[in-house]
Amino acid sequence: MGLSRIGVIFFLLPCAFYCIPPHDEAAKVARFVAHKCDWASMSTISTHDPVKGQPFANVFSVSDGPKGKGTGVPYMYLTAMEISVQDLQVNPTASLAMSLAQTKYCKKHSYDPQSPLCVHIILSGSVVKVNDTEASFAKQSLFSRHPEMVDWPSDHGWFFAKMNITQVWVLDYFGGIKTVTPEQYFSAEPFSTTTDFE
């Protein structure tokens, strides 16, 4: 093998590990972003005065699996003391927005946060408590990426939850928002993300 061929392989290889999937593979892109982002903005319908019935945005740490082992399922560590979680107890439908603006990616490429090139995804669905079997994986997923969680106040009644996804929306290129079904999303093989670009 000539040196030039080795050069080409080394030039191409890194993208197998950390580059964003091609924009015509929206399901893969969604899985990539869902794994890259450590937090999300969650939208709920508020149950609190003076904004009862209005949409309410808030910030939550998420993890879809330990680094390099993303499942696509956004896990969260919640307490009923939290204002948005109280909304979910009345109406569990919610939406999670995650953007590569949360990483170094968009700044590095000078992509404005609102540009579709600064890739962002939206997950729609319901947020539910996970059962005991799944709680172990949820814990591993969250605590490995949010080590501070282990020390959160024990009297707050923390529990593990996840979003049951009903629809995925992807903004990763010009031409409008794309939709991805949960089936397409979960069957997509995300690129390995062992190398960080946060």
Binding site residues, its own copies, CB under 8 A: 38-46, 50-51, 54-61, 77, 81, 83, 93-97, 99, 101-102, 110-115, 120, 122, 124, 146, 148-149, 166-167, 169, 171, 176-177
Of 122, 106, 102, 110, residue with least CA distance to 171: 122
Q: Which is nearer to its own copies, 2 or 176 (CB)?
A: 176
Contact between 141 and 66 (Cβ < 8 Å): yes
Q: Kindly report whether the peptide bond that precedes residue 50 is cis, defined as omega within 30 degrees of 0.
A: yes
**How many residues in total does the chain contain?**
198
Q: CB of residue 110 vs its own copies: minimum separation in angstroms?
A: 7
Q: CB of residue 26 vs its own copies: minimum separation in angstroms?
A: 15
Question: In angstroms, rounded to a whole number, what is the distance separating the alpha carbons of residues 187 and 146?
Answer: 26
Of 178, 164, 166, residue with least CA distance to 26: 178
Q: CB of residue 53 vs its own copies: minimum separation in angstroms?
A: 8
Helix (H) or strand (E) holding 178: strand 178-180
Q: CB of residue 128 vs its own copies: minimum separation in angstroms?
A: 15
Amino acid identity for residue 79 in this structure: T
Q: CB of residue 99 vs its own copies: minimum separation in angstroms?
A: 5
Q: CB of residue 12 vs its own copies: minimum separation in angstroms?
A: 29
Cβ burial 138-167 (10 Å sphere, 16+ → b, else e) = bbebbeebbeeeeeeeeeeebebbbbebee
Q: Which is nearer to its own copies, 132 or 151 (CB)?
A: 151
